[in-house]
Amino acid sequence: MRILIVEDEPKTGDYLKQGLAEAGFVVDLVRDGQGGLHQALTENYDLVVLDVMLPGIDGWAVLRGIHKAGKDTPVLFLTARDDVDDRVKGLELGADDYLVKPFAFSELLARVRTLLRRGTRTAAPEFLRTADLELDLMRRRVTRAGKRIDLTAKEFALLELLLRRQGEVLPRSLIASQVWDMNFDSDTNVIEVAMRRLRVKLDDNFEPKLIRTVRGMGYVLENPDCA
Ligand code: CA
């Protein structure tokens, strides 16, 4: 799941980005309104966390811009003032929810999860499964043959992507754009390293092997018994 944060206060932005990344989301942070709007329109995010008071164009203008472009990405806005007018304005402009600063991170995370569940307009699956592998999206847990497998946030995001697109060969560029943030350096081998670690945890002690490398093309996850 990809989240865009538009927030100019350096500490708040960094704190939100780090917290959401640790919670397993792929997070991009933009520190001004114009850049935030551009990013929201050129990439596909599952959610935008939008500060209202921004340099350049403010959060309201970003929100209008997103809707004007026909994007229905859910938006959670952050307002510094506990001002009824501000909250009403945001919701009237089509934001999905808001938080008044300062807020506890746990509160933000709870709102984010609720919006994401609502945001997937089709009934969201809570589990992704193949063979004896099960990924629990809400509790963020993975088991294989009933045994708990501990994954890092990145490994979890990688596995989620592979499971959502089972049977499809996913090129590195697609994996990079879905699992790593906009600062991803394509000259490094971080995808290979993460994939190797994931395969060790997922496939080394189990049969059948689920993840395959397709030389020169990318990676695929499929249950060979059903392929
Ligand atoms: Ca601000």
Bridge partners of residue 148, in order along the sequence: 143
pLDDT digits (tens, 9 = 90+) for 85-142: 888 888 888 888 999 998 999 999 999 998 988 755 555 568 999 999 999 988 889 9
Q: How far is the CA of 96 from the centre of ligand 1 (A)?
A: 19
Task: Provide the sign of the torsion angle of the four alpha carbons 173, 164, 28, 155, taken in this order.
Answer: negative
Q: How far is the CA of 90 from the centre of ligand 1 (A)?
A: 15
What is d(CA 128, CA 137) in angstroms, rounded to the nearest whole number?
Answer: 8
**CA angle, residues 93, 96, 183, in degrees to nearest 5:** 100
Q: How far is the CA of 78 from the centre of ligand 1 (A)?
A: 9
Q: Token pair for residue 135?
A: 């990924």
pTM above 0.85, yes or no: no
- DSSP label of 110: H
**CA angle, residues 153, 157, 160, in degrees to nearest 5:** 135
Among the ranges given (71-80, 81-90, 136-145, 196-205), the one the predictor scored with the smallest mean pLDDT: 81-90
Q: How far is the CA of 58 from the centre of ligand 1 (A)?
A: 9
pLDDT digits (tens, 9 = 90+) for 135-178: 998 888 999 999 999 999 889 999 999 999 999 999 998 898 88
Q: How far is the CA of 8 from the centre of ligand 1 (A)?
A: 5
* Helix/strand/coil for 69: coil
Q: What pLDDT, on a 0 to 100 scale, did the predictor assign at position 122?
A: 52
Q: Which residues surround ligand 1, an ion (CB under 5 A)?
A: 8, 51, 53
